[in-house]
Structure 1
Amino acid sequence: MVLMADYIHEMRALVGHRPMILNTAAGALLDDDNRLLLQERTDTGDWSFPGGYMEFGASFAETCQREYLEDAGLEVEPLKLLKLFDKDFYTYPNGDQTQLITALYLVKQTGGQLLDHVTDETKQVKYFALDQLPPLFNEQSNKMAQAVIDEVQSWQEG
């Protein structure tokens, strides 16, 4: 298995800051009050869905599970693909340009414990009411939050 950080560094050494298409996966975990679990990022201080880059040979679902454990400390099972986001662009503070192809899953917790310490990628994890979300990482994160809100509304209407 190729380590993603090594892969990205190797590719960036070849292409510099030029645009790259990168596949990612994230999970939406709701508690009993339909509050959404989010991760405060160490790189920007913004909030985002636990998730990250796909490793070579992994599926979107496997990526979601691995990243959720790394970012939030929780083992999860993807229940439903909420939406595939495929036309979102982001330029990182260092100038790296990306088109992020992200699979967002509704997930349920199957094990683990919420992170209670700072890691390389996570300052903290916290549940938020859907109508009181903090500043999110990028436009794709905002679209992902709306997909979760739409899903919850469909449950309440149906």
Structure 2
Amino acid sequence: MDLSYEESCDSMANYIQEIRALVGHKPLLLNTAAGILVNDQQQVLLNLRTDTHDWSLPGGYLEYGETFAEACVREYREDSGVDVEIVAPIGLFDRGETVYPNGDVTQTISRLFLVRAVGGHVLDEATDETVRLDYFDFDNLPPLMNQQTADMLAAAAEFIKK
């Protein structure tokens, strides 16, 4: 049975809520995927998150049965409004944790991809996950969500230089 976008988001939110009801704020190990999209000025697109009010890469949690690449494409569209395709894998990042404002703690295993825009457009209004989006120079980044995001951006900058 294929779920609509809204049903899929509700299903994932319910899944995490169900786990949190069982474990409270104890740390969880979760899988995520994110993408690096650069413009003609070699700036990276970042999103200002509604939950932490810090900047991060468009991306998010894998849904059950989904691959890292599939999650990257889906989450990129959800977070930014841009349809992307995978160009190349950049790396796997598994260090550090995030403490959310509500007390939830996660360690994420994040797969990072270089992506190319193939449709859609950068959202020009806030959503339930994104306050706004903007392009930044790799050497002049805003306050980031966590050290893992900083590590991914550093790896992407090196990858792009090659």
Bin the TM-score by the shorter chain.
Answer: over 0.9
Q: Which residue of 2 aligns with 1:138?
A: 146
**Runs of 5+ unmatched residues, structure 1:** none
1:48-87 superposed Cα distances (whole Å, 9 cap, x missing partner): 0000111111110110011110100000001111010112
Q: Which residue of 2 aligns with 1:104?
A: 112
Q: Give the drift of 1:152.
A: 2.2
Q: Which residue of 2 aligns with 1:18?
A: 26
1:32-51 equivalent positions in 2, closer than 5 A: 32-51=40-59
Task: Report the Cα distance in structure 2 between the residues aligned to 1:131 and 1:99, rounded to whole angstroms.
Answer: 26
1:1-16 equivalent positions in 2, closer than 5 A: 3-16=11-24
Q: 3-state DSSP class of the match of 1:88?
A: coil
Q: Which residue of 2 aligns with 1:53?
A: 61
Q: Give the drift of 1:139.
A: 0.7
Query: Structure 1 length normalisation: TM-score?
Result: 0.93
**Runs of 5+ unmatched residues, structure 2:** none
How many percent of aligned residue pairs carry the same amino acid? 52
Q: Give the drift of 1:19.
A: 1.4
The runs of at least 4 aligned residues of structure 1 exceeding 3 Å deviation read none
Q: How many pairs were matched up? A: 154
Q: Which has the higher strand share?
A: 1
Asked if the contact 1:40/1:48 (under 8 Å) is kept, the reply is yes
Q: Which residue of 2 aligns with 1:65?
A: 73
Q: Give the drift of 1:94.
A: 1.4
Task: Report the Cα distance in structure 2 between the residues aligned to 1:26 and 1:87, rounded to whole angstroms.
Answer: 15
